[in-house]
């Protein structure tokens, strides 16, 4: 891990947890071979940290972390562990072959988790944080500590925990919105307070980890960056527990497209985004909704006549990023009942019918509009049938 003193202060570390938190989505488990295929693509796209699993959770997770660690050379490979000896030693064992390894250890800090789940007092949580961050540091100098349910924790207690974790050697401090409860302004304020109040906060990278229960995981991640976070934990296609995690493609493309405002960058080669999204979707069987930002089938598709006309004149009229920037060959003009003459002429040209006479084009356009009123999906074959018929009548 690059030390905080030498890192580029404007670079946001992308920590992908598709293989760990993403896999926790019900019905989404992946086998070893599938995890290795995804890890390969993540590494190729320039992901900084790949969280490959929770080694103590199962032999399968242990193997996945070990094999991803063996395979991947450029990205840091992380293994998750609770703050106890067995978890940390198992994670360290799984990571033994990784060239660049991180132990990611976590404990809950919210009253509801401490009382009902951990049955621990604040002082016990604090003591465990210190003891097991220190133990993790005996295995690697790259240790991340997470305050599970941080966004529902008492701020004074959270400050004490973060201070203790940094003192014990944590190099990354993760502040998860575990249950997707925080709102962007509130989540940003949490980072600002921690970074301001905790002594030596500059010795660690602050990280955002957002769940999407209220649909604001990406907004929260971006707000956290504005408040000083320099690592974002996210998954491909926003896969994850319940409503999922912050979607990597959305965070990365927001940072890239709005660099004017965000003033930070990531090391992600965004041209690999579509490929990664399709691979994760094929492997997990979780289809991407058509209107999903960045990777949905309609993200670069235009149907209405006005939009199609604008697109044919200049792509920037209705596109804020190019399809090529996310690895798509081109935008698509979808033929439907809202399409106008300009798009119809463009389609005709694409299909090789540009030599048709004006009258035939007009008649074909009228027939196409009638058909589009009756039929939801208009395929090239439908347009070709009309064009052939009109050409035959000429
Ligand atoms: O959501 C969460 O709090 C987590 C932690 C284990 C980091 O996934
Ligand atoms: Zn999570």
pLDDT, mean of residues 212-240: 98
Ranges 3-12, 40-49, 60-69, 237-246: which has the least confidence: 3-12
Report percent pLDDT > 70 for the chain.
Answer: 98
87 is in an annotated binding site: no
Query: Could you give the CA distance from residue 225 to residue 208 in angstroms, rounded to a whole number?
Result: 8
The whole-number average pLDDT for the span 385-393 is: 86
| pLDDT confidence tier of residue 2, bands split at 50, 70 and 90 | low
Check residue 106 and give its pLDDT.
98
Give residue-wise pLDDT tens across range 147-204. 999 999 999 999 999 999 999 999 999 999 999 999 999 999 999 999 999 999 999 9
pLDDT at 392: 76
In the prediction, which pLDDT does 1 show?
A: 55
Averaged pLDDT, 279-307: 96
ipTM here: 0.99
245 marked as part of a ligand binding site: yes
Q: What band does 314 get if pLDDT is binned at 50, 70 and 90?
A: very high
User: How many residues make up the chain in this entry?
Assistant: 394
Candidate of 144, 148, 234, 246 to mutate for ligand 1, largest count of ligand atoms within 8 Å of Cβ: 148
Dihedral, CA of residue 207, residue 212, residue 217 and residue 220, to nearest 10: -80
Q: How far is CA 49 from the centre of its chain?
A: 13
63-91 pLDDT, tens digit each: 999 999 999 999 999 999 999 999 999 99
Question: What local confidence, expressed as pLDDT, does residue 391 receive?
Answer: 77
Is 146 a pocket residue for ligand 1 (Cβ < 6 Å)?
A: yes
Cα distances from 151 to residues 44, 148, 340, 370, in angstroms, run: 33, 8, 49, 55
What average pLDDT is seen over the chain? 96
CA 290 to centroid of ligand 1, rounded, Å? 28
Tell which atom from ligand 1 comes closest to the C-alpha of 178.
1
Amino acid 284: pLDDT:
97
Q: What was the pLDDT predicted at 329?
A: 86
Rounded CA-CA distance 145/136 in Å is: 10
Report which ligand 1 atom has the smallest distance to the Cα of 149.
Answer: 3
How high is the pLDDT of residue 263?
98
- Of 105, 209, 210, which is best to mutate to test ligand 1, by the most ligand atoms within 8 angstroms of its C-beta? 209
CB of 79 closer than 6 A to ligand 1? no
pLDDT for residue 255 is more than 70: yes
Q: Is 21 labeled as ligand-binding?
A: yes
Phi and psi, residue 187, nearest 5°? -65, -40
Question: Does residue 393 carry a pLDDT above 70?
Answer: no
Q: 23-70, pLDDT tens digit by residue?
A: 999 899 999 999 999 999 999 999 999 999 999 999 999 999 999 999
| Ligand 1, atom 5: closest residue by C-alpha | 148
Q: For ligand 1, is residue 331 a contact (CB within 6 Å)?
A: no
* Residue 32: CB atoms within 10 Å: 13
**pLDDT confidence bin for 354, thresholds 50/70/90:** confident
pLDDT exceeds cutoff 90 at 220 = yes
Residue closest via CA to ligand 1's atom 8 equals 21
């Amino acid at each position: 891990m690059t030390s905080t003193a030498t890192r580029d202060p404007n670079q946001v570390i992308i920590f992908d947890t598709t293989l760990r938190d993403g896999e926790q989505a019900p019905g989404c488990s992946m086998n070893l071979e599938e995890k290795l295929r995804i890890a390969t693509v993540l590494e190729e796209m320039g992901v900084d940290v790949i969280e490959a699993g929770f080694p103590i959770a199962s032999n399968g997770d242990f193997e996945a972390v070990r094999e991803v660690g063996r395979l991947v050379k450029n990205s840091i490979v992380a293994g998750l562990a609770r703050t106890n000896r067995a978890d940390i030693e198992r994670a360290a064992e799984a990571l033994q072959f990784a060239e660049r390894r991180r132990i990611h250890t976590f404990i809950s800090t919210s009253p509801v988790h401490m009382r009902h789940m951990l049955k621990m007092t604040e002082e016990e949580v604090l003591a465990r944080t210190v003891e097991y961050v220190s133990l993790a540091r005996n295995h690697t100098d790259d240790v991340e500590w997470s305050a599970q349910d941080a966004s529902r924790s008492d701020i004074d207690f959270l400050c004490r925990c973060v201070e203790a974790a940094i003192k014990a050697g944590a190099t990354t401090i993760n502040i998860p919105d575990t249950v997707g409860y925080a709102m962007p302004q509130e989540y940003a304020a949490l980072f600002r307070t921690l970074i301001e109040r905790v002594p030596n906060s500059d010795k660690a990278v602050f990280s955002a980890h957002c769940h999407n229960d209220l649909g604001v995981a990406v907004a929260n991640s971006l707000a956290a960056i504005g408040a000083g976070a320099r690592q974002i934990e996210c998954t491909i296609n926003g896969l994850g527990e319940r409503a999922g995690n912050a979607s990597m493609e959305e965070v990365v493309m927001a940072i890239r497209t709005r660099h004017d405002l965000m003033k930070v960058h990531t090391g992600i080669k965004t041209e690999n985004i579509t490929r990664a999204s399709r691979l994760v979707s094929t492997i997990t069987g979780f289809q991407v909704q058509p209107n999903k930002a960045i990777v949905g089938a309609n993200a670069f598709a235009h149907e209405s006549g006005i939009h199609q006309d604008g697109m044919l004149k200049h792509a920037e009229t209705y596109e804020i990023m190019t399809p090529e920037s996310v690895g798509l060959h081109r935008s698509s003009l979808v033929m439907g009942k809202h399409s106008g003459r300009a798009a119809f002429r463009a389609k005709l040209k694409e299909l090789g019918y540009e030599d048709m006479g004006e009258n035939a084009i007009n008649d074909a356009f009228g027939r196409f509009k009638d058909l589009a009123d009756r039929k939801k999906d208009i395929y090239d074959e439908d347009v070709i049938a009309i064009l052939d018929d009109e050409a035959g009548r000429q």
